[in-house]
Structure 1
Amino acid sequence: MPRRRHQPADATAGVFVADDTRPKGEHIKDVLTSLVRESKDGSLLPSERVLSERFGVARMTVRGVINELESQGLVRRVGGRGTFVQHPTLTHSEIFRSFTEDMRNRGMTPSSQRYRARTRPAPRDVATQLGIEPGDPVHSIERVRTADGVPMALESTNLSARRFPNLLAVMAKDASLYEVLTRVFKVRFESAEQTVSIARLSPVQAGRLDVPAYEPAFAVERRAVDNMGNVVEFGRSLYRGDRYSIQMHVSRPSSS
């Protein structure tokens, strides 16, 4: 018999049997927490109706448990689509790393979607950040960055086409920009200045990140500098607010 919509395919029926030794809500929460942790990020959970039938409880009981899981950041609801597994948020730290390096350090596989690369005249704001003249040629690279196949950020960056003339010819969709710049152009990155603000994702941006429209996101502007003090790139990225937190190191000024 075909599996009904939202009905679990890989969980044994026995795991949903009620446990008479504990409160129903507590048992259901333990089972669903285990199911979430064993499932792939972004997986669709069974519907409230299916879960209530499996556990033999009212839908309100199941809904209360899912509300708890949502408050803990373990699942997310998408109107009209269902409830999805959401693995814990990632910390965007003050350590200067590329997206690829950051995801690899977390044991995740970085990749890209919707890759677009072109050479264009530099707008005034981009030229100012790169230290070049408005209208000078710049390489612009835009892509959706993913981790284990899940969209995480909309990345857009700009580099001087005169300094890196054949960059787009050697740059691949899933490649690390910093690794290419280091390997091909012998760039030695030193530091970066970052500005973080809060933004609302437009319907188009939200669609690319697979989240509801107008969800909050971290808008990050980055200007990376090499060991000679020259600006290498200037970019603006949008990081999913439901998947990231920002970590900063702060200290009090010296008494002197």
Structure 2
Amino acid sequence: MSDGPAIRTDALTKRYDDTLAVDDLSLSIPAGTVYGFLGPNGAGKTTTMRMLATLVRPTDGTAEVAGHDVRNRDRVTPHIGYLPEEPPLYDELTGREQLEYVAGLRDLPEDEAAERIDSLLARFDLDDDADKRIGEYSKGMRQKTGVIQAVLHRPAVAFLDEPTSGLDPRAARTMRETIAELADREMTVFLSTHILPVVDELADRVGVLHDGRLVAEGAPEELKRQAESGERRSLEDAFLEVTEEPATAD
């Protein structure tokens, strides 16, 4: 990995036919940052994450992750982990088999992989269910398995799309604590979520996407200070203000 930003984009753009999904996005995210990526449904958040994770090719602009151009998938993927909203899991495998399979894809030594898998299964209270087939898992259990496989190889950058989705309060707290620990270990976490308190608690910096464009960026406290509505200024106030649709004349 280079000494530059963990994630850098310059005028990154994605167009699907006549739809401009991501428009001229420029970011510079230092290593070890938890970056909260916010926006309404359809704002372009998932498309952005998929471009950065090398799953979607940009239409225009440039992007580098861990010092490598995202158009070079073989260079980027060893350095990243990705948790989509629906984790890619094989229902016929047990949770442990799924993680062992991913460890093999990542070329982790067998003993080291087993130790990491056992530790993470215990952390997410999955150790008692590790030998059940994933087809029997609840949404929350699938989500926890998905995040374990995303960070199992200790990537430089982790892309997490709605990581607390489907989790009960205890598991959601474990997820938040895990994200904080990853950042303490200098992993960069690119975090997309609708749960604003999670971003407020964890993010060093926040970017707000609206209609494919970055409309606000800064530390959570900076965005709160910019919020003008109401006496209680919150990240929610800032988010609602910068994503408010302009009024139209009758």
TM-score, with length taken from structure 2? 0.25
| Higher RCO structure (Cα 8 Å, ≥6 apart) | 2
Task: Flag the structure with higher strand content.
Answer: 1
Task: Flag the structure with higher helix content.
Answer: 2
TM-score, with length taken from structure 1? 0.24
